[in-house]
Each structure stands twice: as structure tokens, then as C-alpha cells.
Amino acid sequence: MVANELPSDPLQLFAERPWRQVSPEAQAPARHVPTMLSTEESQFYYWLARDWARGTGHTVDLGAFIGGSTARFATGQQAAGRTTPIIAYDRFTADPQVKRSLLYPAGIPAFSGNDILLLAHRLLTPFKPMVELRPGEFLEQGWSGEPIEILCVDIAKTAETADHVAAEFFPHLIPGRSIVVQQDFLHEIQPWLPAQMTLLRRHFTPLARIAHHCVAFLCTSVPTSASLDRARVAPLSDAQLTRLVRRAALSYRGLAGRYRFASMVRRISENPETREAWRMRRHRDTP
């Protein structure tokens, strides 16, 4: 494919799942950076940066943790010989449980406190100056206005955050080119994500489901600020949210069985007015 040329049929391209051909050797430059991503998600992020991106906009990694996803994007981009900026947002903190279960088994020496910003900088040194970290509370941050070619959303753990992602970042997507990766789209504890994308479905075409929860969308037109305002999910009542999840079950039936959306509906009814993923408990989990 010639640089900047669009694939004639992105649906066909994604249906072939070419990222599954990405070898562990290709991703070796990112291997030292721990990640919460699954094997296929890592392959997908690398492939998006190497084979889909053309450098027509930034890559934005919302919810980078210690930089694992960022490193996979950067490695893919390096393989393509591009140096387009990759901007990573996170609080850059790790609680004791995450340190024990993810960081130490990945070879990070034990450390005190929960700040991982310096560690992330150190681990991402091979990708500087292409990679820029924006630490802090996401709700207090915005976007500088440059076009975005890949927008990876792994930060929308609350409905309010999902609205912030849409308001700040969606206006800067490139129609027919930008991919939005909704990392937790099919996760039963974040029903506001299918609700949001259902409200915006005129602007985004689902291209593929990757592993369990991740879904990639092509932006086909940029939502106006009025349509983004109408698509806000934080103000929805439980009944409205439930209705939208049921509509999502129909709109996205090619991606997942109805049982997945049904379990989102169950979580909503078990957790009235709850819009934080970590509080969307199963009824039998509650004391």
C-alpha cells in the first residue's frame, strides 16, 4: 500500500486479523515494559502502529499504566520507520497488589511507595523523544488540538471519564483514518462504553473484536460538539443506560453474544446509580 492511501476496505482488512502474524521477535524491543495487555492485544497495538498508521496524526494512549501499551505502539512505529508523537496519559501509580502481581513477576525490583512515573520514563527511554508522558488526574487534562490517528482508550473506568474522552479527543479524529480502540468495550463492569458508542454509532464503524473485551472502531465522521453533548453517558439514568445497552446488543451482535450485554444489564440492576467500574460488583460479591 502506498503511504497515506486508505485500504479500500478496512472491514475486510480487519476481518483477516493480520496482527496475529506479528511475531514475539518483532515486539522484542517492548518486552522489558510490563503490560496488562493480552498477547493478541499486544500484537494488535504493534500492528496498528506499524501497518495501519500513516503518521497523519498523533497516537494517544489513554491509560498507559507503566507504559506497556505505549511501548508496543512505539515498537510498531519504529519498525515502520516513523517518529510520529505518541502521547501517554496516566496517573502513573501502582498499588501494592499490582506491584506484587504484575511488576515484580516481570522483573521490576521491589520499591516502596506507589509512584511509577520515574520507572515509566526509564522503561520508555529507548522510545524517546517520540514518546511523551502526561502524568496526573485525567479529568483535569485536555488535548492540545493536533489530529489523532490512533486513540487508545483504557482509562474510561467511570462514565464521567468516558464523557471526557469523547469531549476532548473525538473532535480531533480523522474521518476514514482514525482508529479508536475501546479496550474495555465488552467488559461487563463498564456498560457506559457500549452506551456511548451506540449514541455515536453514525460516526464509528466497529472493525474487530480483539481478545475478550477490546473493540476497534473506524471513525467515519467527526461528531459535532452538539452530538457529543447528546451522547454524554454520565447523566443517564439506570433505565436509559439499560435501554442503550440493549440497543448495543443488537447494533454490535457481530462482535459478541447477547449474554455479554445481558450481563452488563444485570450489573446495572445490581448496582443502582453506580458509574465506577470498580464498584460494579456482582450481587453475590457484596457482603
Ligand X SMILES: C[S@@+](CC[C@H](N)C(=O)[O-])C[C@H]1O[C@@H](n2cnc3c(N)ncnc32)[C@H](O)[C@@H]1O
Interacting residue ranges for ligand X, rule: CB under 6 A: 35-37, 63-65, 68-69, 90-91, 137-139, 154-155, 157, 161
Q: What are phi and psi of 208, to 5 degrees?
A: -165, 150
With the C-alpha atoms ordered 177, 202, 161, 44, is the resulting torsion angle positive or negative?
negative
Q: State the nearest-atom distance from the C-beta of 55 to ligand X, in Å.
A: 22
Q: State the nearest-atom distance from the C-beta of 1 to ligand X, in Å.
A: 28
Q: State the nearest-atom distance from the C-beta of 239 to ligand X, in Å.
A: 26
Q: Which is nearer to ligand X, 184 or 265 (CB)?
A: 184
Q: Which is nearer to ligand X, 155 or 248 (CB)?
A: 155
Q: Which is nearer to ligand X, 64 or 245 (CB)?
A: 64
Q: State the nearest-atom distance from the C-beta of 192 to ligand X, in Å.
A: 14
With the C-alpha atoms ordered 175, 176, 181, 187, is the resulting torsion angle positive or negative?
positive
Q: Which one, of 51, 82, 88, lies nearest residue 69 by Cα?
A: 88
Helices and strands of the chain, counted as H and E runs: 10, 7
With the C-alpha atoms ordered 62, 46, 125, 68, is the resulting torsion angle positive or negative?
positive
Q: Which one, of 90, 94, 73, lies nearest residue 134 by Cα?
A: 90
Q: Which is nearer to ligand X, 82 or 91 (CB)?
A: 91
